[in-house]
Structure 1
Amino acid sequence: MTSTVMADNMTSTTDLPPLPAYEVVVAPDLISWFPDFYLSIIAPTLAYWVVSIFFHIIDTYDFFPQYRLHTPAEISQRNKVTRYEVLRDVIFQQIIQGVMAGVLGMTDPPQYMGMEEYDVAVWATRVRLAQRALPALLGVLGLNAATISKNMAVSHPLLAGALSGGHYPFLTSELAGPDGIPVPAFATWELIVAKAIYHLIIPAIQFFVGVTVLDTWQYFLHRLMHQNKWLYNTFHARHHRLYVPYAYGALYNHPVEGFLLDTAGAGLAYKVAFMTPRQGMVFWVMSSIKTVDDHCGYALPWDPLQHITSNNAAYHDIHHQNWGIKTNFAQPFFTFWDRLLGTMWHGDTTLKYERSRTKAEEKEALESETKKASTKAQ
C-alpha cells in the first residue's frame, strides 16, 4: 500500500520551518524471501538454540573447565530430570511461544515506512519551540537574553539564535516548485538532536520500558510461585529439578508456568512499550539469549551479557541451590527488585559450592565402583 501525504503546513503563518510531505509504503521484509511474520515466530527459538548449542559444545568437550560453576559429576548426579525430558519440555514451551508470537503478529498493524523525515521534522519543530523558554529561564537567573544574543550575533549566530528564543532569520530554504519561495529552515544542530531523539532516545526508552515491565512481571510471579506452596508444587517445582542448570534447560518449565512467566510476560512488555513488530522481534531474541545465558552454567569473563548486569549465570545459579532458593528471584535482565525488596543473596558461597562438588564426585565414584563390582560378578 502506498499513500502520498502533503504535510499540513501548520507553521506557514509563523517563523517555524514547514513540515515536509511524505509517502507511506508498507516496509519490505527484512529477508526478501521470508516474511517478517514468520521470522518473528522462529527468530527467538533460533537464537535460543544457537546459543544453547554453543554452550552444549563447550560442556561436551569441557573447553573451559576453569569457568564452570559446577562439575560434570554434579550435572549427572544432582539433577532430577533427564536431558531428553528437558529437551522435550523446552520444545513444547517454544511451540506455545510460537503460537503466541503468531497471534500477536496477526493483531499487529502492518509496519510502514516513509514518514521518517516528517517525524524528524516534527521533533525538530519541538526543539525549536522549546528554545522559546530560554529567554525566560535566563531572566530568572538575572541575565538579559536579548543583550547576550545581540553581542553574539556575529561570532556565534546559531547560539545567538537559540538564546533569543529560537529565532534564526538567516536560515532559509526554498520550497520545491517553480516559484521557489524562501521559507524558514532548521539549524543543523536541531536536526541532529531531532534525529537522535527519533532514532535513538525513543527506541531506547521503549526497550527500557519493555525490560522493566518484563523484569517486574517475572520477579513478582516468580517470587509468588515460591511463596505459595500449591503454585510451587504444582508448577514451579519442575524447573527446580535442575539443581545444576545448563543452557538449553533455560525454558524447562511446566507449560502453564512457561506461558505465564515467559510468554505472557514478554508479550505484555512488548505491548506496554508500544514497540513496533521489528522492535518486538529484537526484544524477544534478546530475552531468549539472556535467559539461556543465565542458565549456561559458566562464569565466562569474556561474555558481555554477564557483565552488562549483575543478573548473570552465577547470580541465577544461586537460586537453583537448596540454600539459595529463597533469594535471587530477579530475571532475566536486572536485579533491582531483589535489591529493593531484600531478596538478594549476600555472603560467600565458596564452601557451599565446594561441598556440593565433593558430594557429587563421591556419589559418582561410588556408582562407578558398584558397576565394576556388578560386572565382575557376572
Structure 2
Amino acid sequence: MDLMASDEMLGTFLPIVVYWVYSGLYVLLGYFENYRLHSKKDEDDKNLVSKSTVVKGVILQQAVQAVVAILLFKVTGDGDQAQENSNPSLIVLARQFISAMVVLDTWQYFMHRFMHHNKFLYKHVHSQHHRLVVPYSFGALYNHPLEGLLLDTVGGALSFLVSGMSPRVSIFFFSFATIKTVDDHCGLWLPGNLFHVFFKNNTAYHDVHHQLYGSKYNFSQPFFITWDKILGTYMPYTLEKRAGGGFEARPTKEYKDS
C-alpha cells in the first residue's frame, strides 16, 4: 500500500512538475528567433492576456486536476490487485497507451469542436484559451476553469478508466501527454523534434487553429489528426520562412482562396 500511495502521488504531481520544467526549457529556446513560428514581438503584442494571469490560470487548473486525480485513485484503488497490475507486459502497456490516446483524442476533439460551434460556450468559456493568439509553452493549459474540467480533467479520467492502466502506468502516460501538449503550444519549430517526426498533430498544426483563418479547423488534440480528417475539419498548411527569421505556418492555396 505504501508503494501504491507513492505511485498515486507521482501520477498526480509529476505531470505538473514536468509541465513547468518542460515549459521553462521552451521559454529559453524561444529567445532564438530562428526557431519561432511568430516573432517574440508578436507574442508580446498580439496576445490578449498577461503572462502572470496565464500562470495563475494554469495553477488553478492543475490544482483541480490534482484533486480529481487523488479522488480517482482512491475510488479505483484495489489493493493487491492494483499492485499486481502495476507491472504489465509490453503488449499490455502498449494497448493501454494506445487506448488511452484514442479515448483522450476522441473526447477532446468533440468537446473542443462543440465549444467552437456553440456561441455561448465559445464566448464565455473557450475564448479564454484563444486570448493566446500566439501560443507559448506554459500557456498550454490556460483555459477557463470549466473547460479545464471538461476537456482535460474529465478526458484524462476517462482515458485512465477505459484503458485500465494502473497508477504506476499513469505516471508515464500523463507525463508523456503533458510534454506533448506543451510541445503543441510552444510556438517553436525545432530541428530534430521527434514529436514532429511521429505526429502530424504538432506545433504548426495547432498554431493554425489559433489563427483567425483556422479557428474552425484542426480541432484534434493532442496526438492524432484522425477526427479532423474523417469529419472534414482538417486544414493543411505549409511552412514558409518568416521575415526576420523563423517559420510561419500558412494554409495551403485552396484554403487561402476559400
Coarse TM-score class (shorter-chain normalised): 0.7 to 0.9
Q: Tell me the equivalent position of 1:143.
A: none
| Unaligned ranges ≥5, structure 2 | 247-258
Partner Cα separation in structure 1 for residue 126 and residue 172 of structure 2: 28
Partner Cα separation in structure 1 for residue 7 and residue 93 of structure 2: 19
User: Do the aligned partners of 2:7 and 2:171 also contact (CA within 8 Å) in 1?
Assistant: no
Q: Tell me the equivalent position of 1:82.
A: 50
SS in 2 for 1:112: helix
TM-score by length of 2: 0.87
1:45 aligns with 2:16: yes
Q: Tell me the equivalent position of 1:319.
A: 209
SS in 2 for 1:281: helix
Partner Cα separation in structure 2 for residue 307 and residue 259 of structure 1: 31
Q: Tell me the equivalent position of 1:220.
A: 110
| Unaligned ranges ≥5, structure 1 | 1-25, 117-197, 358-378
User: Do the aligned partners of 1:27 and 1:113 also contact (CA within 8 Å) in 2?
Assistant: no
- Aligned CA-pair RMSD: 2.1
Residues 41-190 of structure 1 mapped to structure 2, 5 A cutoff:
41-59=12-30, 62=31, 64-107=32-75, 108-110=77-79, 111-113=82-84
TM-score by length of 1: 0.60
SS in 2 for 1:35: helix
Partner Cα separation in structure 2 for residue 273 and residue 86 of structure 1: 32
Larger Rg computed on CA atoms:
1
- Over 3 Å counting, the alpha-carbon distance change for 1:304 and 1:347 in structure 2 is closer
Q: Tell me the equivalent position of 2:253.
A: none
User: Do the aligned partners of 2:189 and 2:204 also contact (CA within 8 Å) in 1?
Assistant: yes
Q: Which amino acid aligns with 1:325?
A: S
Structure with bigger RCO (C-alpha 8 Å, 6+ apart): 2
> 1:263-310: per-residue Cα shift (whole Å, max 9, x none)?
110110110111111112211111111110100010112221222111
- Over 3 Å counting, the alpha-carbon distance change for 1:66 and 1:279 in structure 2 is same
Deviation at 1:36, TM superposition (A): 2.3
Q: Which amino acid aligns with 1:220?
A: F
- Over 3 Å counting, the alpha-carbon distance change for 1:277 and 1:318 in structure 2 is same
> 1:152-184: per-residue Cα shift (whole Å, max 9, x none)?
xxxxxxxxxxxxxxxxxxxxxxxxxxxxxxxxx
1:35 aligns with 2:6: yes
User: Do the aligned partners of 1:27 and 1:112 also contact (CA within 8 Å) in 2?
Assistant: no
Q: Tell me the equivalent position of 1:331.
A: 221
Residues 196-215 of structure 1 mapped to structure 2, 5 A cutoff:
199-215=89-105
1:231 aligns with 2:121: yes
Identity %: 44
Q: Which amino acid aligns with 1:50?
A: V
Q: Which amino acid aligns with 1:244?
A: V
Q: Tell me the equivalent position of 2:162.
A: 272
- Over 3 Å counting, the alpha-carbon distance change for 1:27 and 1:85 in structure 2 is closer
User: Do the aligned partners of 2:86 and 2:168 also contact (CA within 8 Å) in 1?
Assistant: no
Partner Cα separation in structure 1 for residue 72 and residue 236 of structure 2: 40
- Over 3 Å counting, the alpha-carbon distance change for 1:328 and 1:51 in structure 2 is same
Give the number of aligned pairs: 241
- Over 3 Å counting, the alpha-carbon distance change for 1:340 and 1:78 in structure 2 is same
Partner Cα separation in structure 2 for residue 40 and residue 248 of structure 1: 20
SS in 2 for 1:333: coil
